[in-house]
Amino acid sequence: MLFNSIEFAIFLPVVFLLYWFVFNKNLSKQNLLLLVVSYVFYAWWDWRFLLLLAFSTFLDYFSGLKIEQASTQAKSKFWLVISVGINLGFLGFFKYYNFFIAEMTTALASAGISINVWLLQVILPVGISFYTFHGLSYIIDVYKKRIVAESNFVDYAVFVSYFPLLVAGPIERATHLLPQVKRVRVFDYHRAADGMRQILWGLFKKIVIADNCAVYANAIFNDSAHQDGSSLLLGAVFFAFQIYGDFSGYSDIALGVSRLFGIELLRNFAFPYFSRDIAEFWRRWHISLSTWFRDYLYFPLGGSQGGVWMKVRNTFIIFMVSGFWHGANWTFLAWGFLNALYFIPLLLLDRNRNYLNVIPTHQFFPSVKEFFQIVFTFFLTVLAWVFFRSDTITQAFAIVRTIFSKSLFQIPGFLGKQDPIYFIIHCFLIGILILVEWLHRDKQFGLQINTGTMKSTYKRWSVYTLIVLFILLFGGKQNNFIYFQF
């Protein structure tokens, strides 16, 4: 079920009314309702994968109890290994089996050995990377005694399968979400109103920005061999806004929907395209995944506490694993490797923690230095997105070579084939996105209007109405969210 669908527009109000007006006096029934509707929400794609979700949930719930009850460290570690091994086994089987088999077959063929292999003929279970990481963080936290094992199966199952975050995050932690699941929740009008604003802004980013940018990005990347350098750079820029509008739009909707039910999810984006270097970008982009890898992989590997070699090694491991988490393709590994190359100089010069504040805090315009830092960082990310978006590593390198050719300095030939009015309108809409988020860069999301400063109800509703009109007038073709494939 898509957030930007008629089905969800019916589903959400029905769940909201049941949650607050039928089961509002009983926390256990509220949580049971959340579990049931979460499974309905997930089954909308393919009910058969509910069995996988349910098995993974029960496995981690049972393993958590066994770890808690273990009389020795060896027994505790045994159940940790069982849970982590099976979870990663399922993830690897569905997500990476075909990739490794195909690569092995190619390698053997180059050596003159021909074999017949069996490839999976099933689609990737939607959200498997996300709910697997929910379970892994829980099991590891129980093992590390950061949290007590949850004895209530329904409460734990809600943590794993809570529908706003089930298929594309944010990746939650048991230490953050489980206490909220177990706590009595009281309806808060101001929180709910803020949630509705965040949902509206997320829909604008997805429907108006991402889905329209996809039209240009797809047209250029799908015909990359016949495009000039300036057109390819333009396509990469459009993809940068497509993936940002798509993924951060999903996260905004997820956080906003959750606020309607009195639950706060982890923030996943903090206006990353305003970053002044690549380290700041990664503190602002897909925050829940970046911090997950930091806490559960980078720190256990030694972090940056060791010598230069350990710092470099751990940084490359983090970025390469992050790239591979996104998909079984050499393009994702190249994307991770390139971001590691960007990051390493900042780490070695001890400048990776330079920009922790909002830019700039007390003035509208950035300084000249900050402006060029933002532009340069954005260009680096756009260049990396080329590898992320390309179908093959060969295509990615061909696009990069063309971008850095003389044709970069000519008028994009792609524009000659487009309706100029539509193109101008869409660039204008991207400008609105940038302006609104710049004006609210010290807030949690772009449309977090402070009713204290904008006291006029008329002004606030004028803004809401304008955004709704943009969605109705300029909404692009309905597309799945990009991160559903991960």
3-state helix, strand, coil in the chain (%, to 5): 70, 0, 30
DSSP states of 348-413:
HTT-TTS--SPSSSS-SSPPHHHHHHHHHHHHHHHHHHHHHH-SSHHHHHHHHHHHTSGGGGS--G
Respond yes or no: is residue 440 known to be catalytic.
Answer: no
- Evaluate whether 272 touches 244 at the Cβ level (below 8 Å): yes
Q: Of 269, 255, 265, whose CA–CA distance to 197 is shortest?
A: 255
- Evaluate whether 226 touches 399 at the Cβ level (below 8 Å): no
Q: Of 173, 316, 310, 172, whose CA–CA distance to 254 is shortest?
A: 172
Structure-block tokens of residue 165: 């975050």
DSSP states of 278-308:
HHHHHHHSSHHHHHHHIIIIITTTTTTSS-H
Structure-block tokens of residue 228: 């000039």
Exactly one of 134, 286, 326, 426 is catalytic; name it: 326
Which residues fall within 8 angstroms of residue 320, CB to CB, at 6 or more apart?
Answer: 333, 336, 337, 340
What are φ and ψ of residue 402, in 5° steps? -70, -40
DSSP label of 111: T
What's the residue count for the chain?
Answer: 486
Active site residues: 326
